[in-house]
Amino acid sequence: MVREKRVIVGSRGSKLALTQTNWVISELKRFNPEFEFLIEKISTKGDKITDVPLSRLGGTGLFTKELEVALIKEKIDIAVHSAKDVPTEIHEGLMIGATPKREDPHDVLISSNNATLEKLADGARIGTSSLRRKAQLLAFRPDFKILDLRGNLDTRIKKIDADDMEAIIVAHAGLIRMGYTGTISQIIPFDIMLPAVGQGSLCIEIRKNDELIKKIVSHIDDRQTKIAVDCERALLAKLQGGCQVPIGAYAEVQGNTVSIEAIISTLDGDHAIRDKHSGPIKQAAKIGEELAQRMLESGGEKILHEIRIKFLDRVDHI
């Protein structure tokens, strides 16, 4: 589709998505100065429906499907996604062409009085649309009242006061990219909250048969990030999980070894399976799959089955 050295880059229209996409374009221009990169804003189902918790929308690809359709129809050449939004199974004609260097994957707390999780008042109301965050928050402090929170990053931050919440939980990476780190009350350690699979990373999706675009994006692929995210995504695929399931995982590469830690939790945080695994980087996907299998056999399969049964009748097919 590249004509007259123009590359069309698909992006969601939120301020954070466009900030991420503009960063990707600036990196691509460094290595491909002869090309012009233009943004095509595309609205996804997840963007259009903001008054329903993500856990009730059902399905996968809530923030990616429309971008993938545009890729397949050759309306765009590149799609920029947050890695945590990308389903573990993508269209057979598409591929992840690059995984740029990961930003900090931690979750953070933004509270009205700058208190940490430990210092928040009894029964504090915390906003998040993530079942993963909710489960781990309740495991840490069962007295918390968790409120559904949707919307773009700016909207969520404003809702602390507007919706009478003491705090919200968001991804550190988004705040860093938007320059909002001054609002942070606490960077939540992994022993309290493991992140979503791929959190902090971006995925550059392209068509498998587009050799020119494949070469263009290859320059911004970060090997360590790719290995770690591949390991996490392999675990998620084996667990058959998604953003509607309370699964957290984080992998990192040290030398020739990849290590991954993951958690599967009940919705109330009362019971969780948490485990870790490591092995050679050449077997990153296998390491993720092996950890997932071990966790399923340790009680994770029962937890996930009960969660799916619970949500089966609650999903709104909108």
Residues 138, 117 contacting (CB under 8 angstroms) = no
SS3 287: helix
What is the residue whose two structure tokens read 């966790």?
295
The 3-class SS string of 34-100 reads CCEEEEEECCCHHHHCCCCCHHHHCCCCCCCHHHHHHHHCCCCCEEEEEHHHCCCCCCCCEEEEECC
Name the DSSP letter for residue 129. S
CA atoms within 13 A on the CB side of 158: 6
Of 47, 51, 85, 210, which residue is the catalytic one?
85
Whether 47 sits among the annotated catalytic residues: the reply is no
Amino acid at site 78: I
How do 167-171 and 125-127 pair as beta strands? parallel
- Helices within 171-283 (DSSP H only): 172-178, 211-218, 223-239
Name the DSSP letter for residue 202. E
Please choose, from the candidates 35, 38, 36, 57, the residue with its C-alpha nearest in 3D space to the C-alpha of residue 46.
Answer: 57
Catalytic residues: 85
